[in-house]
Amino acid sequence: MKMQFVRHALTVAIGGISAAAMAVNAQAAQEVSLGHTLSSTSHYAVGAQAFKETLEALSDGAFVVNEYASGALGGEREMIEGLQIGTVDVVITSTGPLGNFVPETYVLDLPFLFENYDQARCVLDSEIGDELLEKMSNHDLAGLAWSENGFRHLTNSRREVTSPADAEGLRVRTMENEVHQEAFRQLGARPTPMAFPELFTALQQGTVDGQENPITVIVATNFWEVQDHLSLTGHVYSPAAVLGSPLLLDGLSDEEREWFREAARASAEATRAEVSRLEEEGVALLRENGMTVNTEIDIGPFQQAVEPAYEIFTNQHGSEMLERVQEKASSC
Ligand code: EAX
């Protein structure tokens, strides 16, 4: 009887201690969700890992980051909405759907705006990039850092595309971005906006003939399984942004917020390095997997074909920011 009582008392005590320990842990480590649309082998996953390592190290484990890859939290538009209502904490996203929320960023989506990676990175790392990140707070978003998706190239299942005439009539999935859609209309293609998580199936089922994305994304998504031809059009630079939810960030101390910014900058740096690596190695990999890759594309006619998109853009959004970006780019 006595032993039984002691055993019972011990069980209760141990149960109490572990419940208390769990409560302390729960208080000590705040879980942070980080979402993106790409696979766990992608450049965004590399960036997510760098974010996680940096934030967890800087905060000494006070924050724990959980990565949700492959669109587990939805497409990019849905995730940006999630940031605004606090259902996700951090998102790595292309600027694809971002202009719907922060119209000031549309300028970055103009075709043939940047000539190369150095130029694009230099503009985004300048006061212009900082200003655009700050603008996001007017739209219930926290802009933490400019990361990278990469220069976009056209793939399709119908034919080799080396001139705008070849692209005519192709049903091309674009991002949910009015500037991109306009550019593809000008090119003579039939733009079909769609969220990324729906894209693979749409290509597989022939709902669309083609799509456009950087080498990194084409590799990370095994698009060779559903697309035969790749043309290195590099028709637009696709920035990515690391965004946070103001519902989380506004409640933090200045020091904690700075940890998030630092983690976002580390994430962007790691992602850019991975983009550069895959730009070097990706084309060979895509060829090995059976894609025909046209590397010698005469860009001039493409550039000319999409030129009217600029006027349509400035009519809607003015020319001031565009001129500033162009001026900065030429001095980079
Ligand atoms: O941000 O939607 C797209 O094509 C994007 O490039 C992709 O989600 C990565």
pLDDT at residue 28, as a whole number? 75
The pLDDT tens digits of the residues spanning 161-217 come to 999 999 999 999 999 999 999 999 999 999 999 999 999 999 999 999 999 999 999
CA of 321 to the centre of ligand 1 (A): 24
Mean pLDDT estimate for the chain: 93
The pLDDT tens digits of the residues spanning 2-42 come to 444 444 444 444 444 444 444 444 567 999 999 999 999 99
Strand partners, 94: 240
Q: Give the number of the atom of ligand 1 that is nearest the alpha carbon of residue 211.
A: 4
The pLDDT tens digits of the residues spanning 46-71 come to 999 999 999 999 999 999 999 999 99
Task: Tell me how far apart the alpha carbons of residues 104 and 98 are, in angstroms, rounded to a whole number.
Answer: 9
Residue 199 corresponds to which tokens in the numbers above? 């894209």
The pLDDT of residue 80 is above 70: yes
The best mutation among 36, 37, 148 to test binding of ligand 1, ranked by most ligand atoms within 8 Å of the C-beta, falls on 37
Q: Which residues contact 156 (CB under 8 A, 6 or more apart)?
A: 170, 172, 209, 210, 211, 227, 228, 229
pLDDT at residue 142, as a whole number? 98
The pLDDT tens digits of the residues spanning 108-148 come to 999 999 999 999 999 999 999 999 999 999 999 999 999 99
The best mutation among 38, 46, 68 to test binding of ligand 1, ranked by most ligand atoms within 8 Å of the C-beta, falls on 38
Q: Would strands 229-244 and 90-94 be described as parallel, antiparallel, or unpaired?
A: antiparallel
According to DSSP, residue 87 is labeled: S
Domains and CATH numbers, the chain: 2-331 (3.40.190.170)
